[in-house]
């Protein structure tokens, strides 16, 4: 029963970065990020600023180096 209550209290949301613009969550996990593109900086900014408590980024080494 406790597991079901925990899942109901903290629903998981799977969404693209573009559709998540303007929203926030305590924990955000970013995966399958592009490594290039015209609007990559804007996309990364939106994705990286959605977490209020914890951010996890799973990305290729060249993108991680770009972040910093």
| CB atoms near residue 28 (< 10 Å) | 21
17-58, pLDDT tens digit by residue? Answer: 988 888 899 999 999 998 888 899 999 999 999 999 999 999
CA distance 30 to 13: 12
Find where tokens 């180096």 sit.
65
> Who has greater pLDDT, 66 or 44?
44
Q: Domain locations in the chain?
A: 13-67
Strand partners for 56? 29
Residues in contact with 64: Cβ distance below 8 Å, sequence separation at least 6, in sequence order: 57
- Give the global pTM: 0.75
């Amino acid at each position: 029963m406790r597991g079901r209550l925990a899942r109901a209290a903290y629903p998981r949301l799977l969404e693209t970065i573009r559709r998540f613009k303007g929203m926030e969550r305590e924990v955000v996990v970013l995966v399958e990020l592009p490594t290039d593109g015209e609007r990559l900086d804007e996309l990364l900014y939106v994705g990286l600023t959605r977490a209020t408590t914890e951010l996890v980024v799973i990305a290729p080494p060249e993108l991680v180096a770009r972040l910093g």
